[in-house]
Structure 1
Amino acid sequence: MSIKIAGGLEEKGIVIGNAYDKYGTRNPIAKWMAKGFGSALSKLVAKTSLESIHEISCGEGY
């Protein structure tokens, strides 16, 4: 069985950074989970009266 690594950068032969494109995958379960996370986050933000959100982390940039 082989696993495809999507876009992982390598440093000295070790994959660093994000190694799995969960938003671009064709896997229906991974797509469902990513969509569910985005939906839950949107609903949570909608309950606040914030004018802006600054998200500082690492990931794909979505």
Structure 2
Amino acid sequence: MTLISREPWWLVPPKPGQTEQDLHWGYLEIYSNGRTVFVDQRPSDREMAERKSCRNFPKSDR
């Protein structure tokens, strides 16, 4: 089993009105056999700024 991807990811998708800072972040690891694992370790500020996924936040109802 080989690690093919590791990127910053939220544990639970945001709800309307939540910001990045409100969420529990870690890493989503994807392996060659299709297995996915959430690693409960907060990414660095740089990794968060450069992430390609998990960027869509629902608009607030306010």
Q: TM-score, normalised by structure 1?
A: 0.22
Higher relative contact order (CA 8 A, sep 6+): 2
Q: Which has the larger radius of gyration?
A: 1
Looking at secondary structure, tell me which structure has more strand per residue.
2
Looking at secondary structure, tell me which structure has more helix per residue.
1
Q: TM-score, normalised by structure 2?
A: 0.22
